[in-house]
Copies of this chain bind each other. A is one copy, B any other.
Amino acid sequence: MLDHTDKEILKELLENSRISMKQLGEKVHLTGQAAANRVLKLEEEGVIENYTVTLNQAKIGYPVHTFINIYTKSTKHDPYLSFLDKHQAYVKNNYKISGDGCYLLECRFPDNSELDEFLTELNHYTNYKLSIVINKRNGLTT
C-alpha cells in the first residue's frame, strides 16, 4: 500500500509539513507535480489526517504537563466526560485504556494552582492518580 517513496514523503512531511511540493519532489527524486499527486493520494486514503504545528507549550502559557490515571467511581462515565468538555482548555488527550484504571488523561495547566482546582473538581466524579512530567526524553541522545 505504501511504497518506499511514500514513506520518504511522510518522513519529510513529519519534519516540515510546509515544504513546497517542488522541494519535496527534489528530496524524494520526483518532480514537484509527481510529489503533489502522491501527497494528494495519501490525503484521500486517510493516511495523512492533518497538517499541524507543534507549539512550545511553556511559551503559550501551559508549562505544567500531567498524566492523570482515572478510576471512575460509578458505572456511568458521562459526568466525567462532560466535566472534561467543560475543561477542554486543559485537556490534551483522554485515552480509554485497558489495564489499571479506566482512562489515562493528559492535561496541561498554566500553573499548579489551576491544576489543584482542576483536581479538586475532578475528585467529585472520579478517583485519580497524578503524574507530573518532569522531562520528555526519547533516549540517551535527546
User: Which residues of B sit under 8 angstroms from A95, Cβ to Cβ?
Assistant: 65, 67, 131, 133-136
Instruction: List which A87-127 residues lie within 8 A (CB) of chain B.
Output: 88, 91, 93-101, 104
User: Which residues of B sit under 8 angstroms from A13, Cβ to Cβ?
Assistant: 52-53
Interface residue? A26 (CB, 8 A): no
- Known A-B contacts A18-B17, A60-B47; A81 and B10 likewise in contact (beta carbons under 8 Å): no
Please state if A96 and B133 are interface contacts (CB–CB under 8 Å). Answer: yes
User: Which residues of B sit under 8 angstroms from A53, Cβ to Cβ?
Assistant: 10, 13-14, 17, 48-52
- Known A-B contacts A50-B16, A52-B15; A98 and B134 likewise in contact (beta carbons under 8 Å): yes
Interface residue? A34 (CB, 8 A): no
Please state if B140 and A85 are interface contacts (CB–CB under 8 Å). Answer: yes
User: Beyond the given A13-B53, A47-B60, A95-B133, could you list 13 further A-B residue pairs with CB under 8 A, ordered by the A residue number?
Assistant: A10-B55, A10-B60, A46-B56, A50-B54, A52-B54, A67-B104, A81-B139, A84-B138, A85-B141, A95-B136, A96-B136, A97-B133, A97-B134
- What 4 A-B pairs are tightest by C-beta distance, nearest first? A99-B131, A85-B139, A97-B131, A96-B135
